[in-house]
Amino acid sequence: MMHERRHGDGAAFNHVRCCKGQKAEDNANVCDQTYSESVNLSPYGIQYWLEKNWISGFINAGVGCMAPTARTDAIQSMRSDANLHVNPANSNFCDNTPSLLTFINNPPGGCTTCAGVDGSSTGEPHITTLDGLYYDFQAAGDFLLTMSGPSFIVQTRQQWTPNTPNVAFNKAVAMRMGKTRVAVFVDPTRLVVDGRQIALADGKALTLPDNVEISRFGKVYTIRHGSAETVSVEAVDGDESITFLGGHFLDVSVSLNYAANGTMRGLLGNGNGDVHDDIATRDGQVLAQPVSFEELYHRFGASMSITPEESLFGEDHQTGPGGVVKNAFEVPNKPFTVKNLALKESRLARAACVRAGVTADPLLDACTLDVAVLRRPQVAKLYTGIAAPAAVMEPGAGIRMMPGAKCETSYTGRSGPYCAGKPVTASRYRQ
């Protein structure tokens, strides 16, 4: 309806003929010149923008309060309609086509309450804790991403990139929800449930014991544990021409639909609403800031390393008698940041990110690094629409709150990390 209503605002909003979605035999124009949120949105632009923000909860249409199956159907319907017009192969925009909607750009919030937090591990890997603290963790091995107890554990497998030293990516994620064990791997992308590979078709869902549901939409696997926890795993691969010497990686997001109250452990922090104590060992010892490079990896990282006995990855990576799971914890020799990129390489990568609308610190640096390492400008679109974190931690420099932090609850009503003693939003912090 809003698409057609926009046409009533004058000739400036008429369709043109310049996009890949325009068929030569079609007499009707089906293209919009560009997508830009800084000016008046075009007809397809306002359609995409509304569906994106209904899904995310930025515009609270009650999606987060739906029953799980209804919520999944609603999100898929809106996401499919939006992506129909921005698919690179037949986009309805002549230039600056927005990115395809995925879970990492548009995670659905829970029902409007004062509980619930989100955290993620994306790219190389860039960690955003449940409290909104952003930091890089470029080690190799199997790690505890987060856990609340024996019935909810999430682990990630990080491996070195073959073309850049001291840089890792997520290559697998495994979890326990209740008594059910689920893992997602890449190269090739596959789903394993309780040690058995499962072929889950696109658009289908699988119901398991312990109130666990797995759904798949494209390259995104969403694993829900009732209404309590949700883990979303996206395989980033050839669909966006994002490859590094033939390899692929995973972006992982964890959402809790309850107040963690400091009970969580792992790379995603404790979830108590305070960013300043998120860098803590598994037994709860908070590392004094500023944390050095050596402390981040040899103390904090080592404590998060998964032993073979703890591993949930199971049959995928066995070696030796008895099927012992191989686990090689390795730390980078030194930090690898945008400062380590060649000047020309950095400028080209940063320009691609800026063109994609990525301007907020530290996301611009993260985007620049990912584009440069992966050697694909298309990577920048993965950052479009991602909210800036509440705070940033760099080894040797300590924690700094983002200058634009607003000390208020988020649009979902959730509490978040502390800013001068007051809560700010974690999952949808905005400047």
Domain membership of residue 252 (yes or no) is yes
> Quick one: 294 and 347 in the same domain?
yes
CA dihedral 212, 193, 231, 243 (to 10 degrees): -150
Domain membership of residue 101 (yes or no) is no
pLDDT value of position 373: 82
Q: Containing domain of residue 387, as a range?
A: 117-423
> Quick one: 167 and 263 in the same domain?
yes
pLDDT at 419 over 60: no
The count of residues in the chain is 431
> Quick one: 78 and 123 in the same domain?
no
- How far apart, in whole angstroms, are the C-alpha atoms of residue 360 and residue 365? 9
Give how many domains the chain has, as a whole number.
2
- How far apart, in whole angstroms, are the C-alpha atoms of residue 143 and residue 266? 8
> Quick one: 403 and 337 in the same domain?
yes
Domain membership of residue 399 (yes or no) is yes
- Domain boundary residue, one of 65, 95, 125: 95
pTM above 0.85, yes or no: no
pLDDT at 429 over 80: no
Band of the pLDDT at 99, cuts 50, 70, 90?
Answer: confident
Domain membership of residue 110 (yes or no) is no
With 0-12 / 13-18 / 19 or more C-beta atoms within 10 angstroms meaning exposed / middle / buried, residue 113 is middle
> Quick one: 183 and 51 in the same domain?
no
- Domain boundary residue, one of 49, 64, 95: 95
> Quick one: 233 and 285 in the same domain?
yes
pLDDT at 123 over 70: yes
pLDDT at 370 over 80: yes
pLDDT value of position 146: 98
> Quick one: 182 and 329 in the same domain?
yes
Mean pLDDT, residues 324-338 taken together: 78
Mean pLDDT score of the chain, rounded to an integer? 81
pLDDT value of position 68: 64
- How far apart, in whole angstroms, are the C-alpha atoms of residue 73 and residue 81? 12
- How far apart, in whole angstroms, are the C-alpha atoms of residue 31 and residue 93? 6
Question: What pLDDT digit, counting tens, does each position of 146-197 carry?
Answer: 999 999 999 999 998 877 778 898 999 999 999 999 999 988 889 999 999 9
Q: Is the torsion defined by CA of 351, 353, 354, 360 positive or negative?
A: negative
Mean pLDDT, residues 285-314 taken together: 94
pLDDT at 107 over 60: no
pLDDT value of position 181: 95
> Quick one: 317 and 383 in the same domain?
yes
> Quick one: 129 and 188 in the same domain?
yes
Domain membership of residue 199 (yes or no) is yes
pLDDT value of position 297: 96
Domain membership of residue 168 (yes or no) is yes
Domain membership of residue 107 (yes or no) is no
Lowest mean pLDDT among 93-97, 253-257, 374-378: 374-378
pLDDT value of position 407: 38
Mean pLDDT, residues 413-428 taken together: 36
Strand bridging mode 168-177 / 152-160 = antiparallel
- Domain boundary residue, one of 95, 129, 163: 95
* Number of other CB atoms surrounding residue 70 within 10 Å: 11
> Quick one: 146 and 44 in the same domain?
no
pLDDT value of position 269: 96
**Of 6 and 319, more confident:** 6
pLDDT value of position 12: 85
Band of the pLDDT at 409, cuts 50, 70, 90?
Answer: very low
- How far apart, in whole angstroms, are the C-alpha atoms of residue 312 and residue 327? 12
pLDDT value of position 66: 67
Beta strands in 97-228 (DSSP E): 117-122, 126-128, 133-136, 141-149, 152-160, 168-177, 180-185, 190-193, 196-198, 205-208, 212-217, 220-225
pLDDT value of position 327: 58
Mean pLDDT, residues 8-31 taken together: 87
Q: Which residues contact 337 (CB under 8 A, 6 or more apart)?
A: 136, 365, 369
Domain membership of residue 102 (yes or no) is no
> Quick one: 193 and 280 in the same domain?
yes
> Quick one: 219 and 71 in the same domain?
no
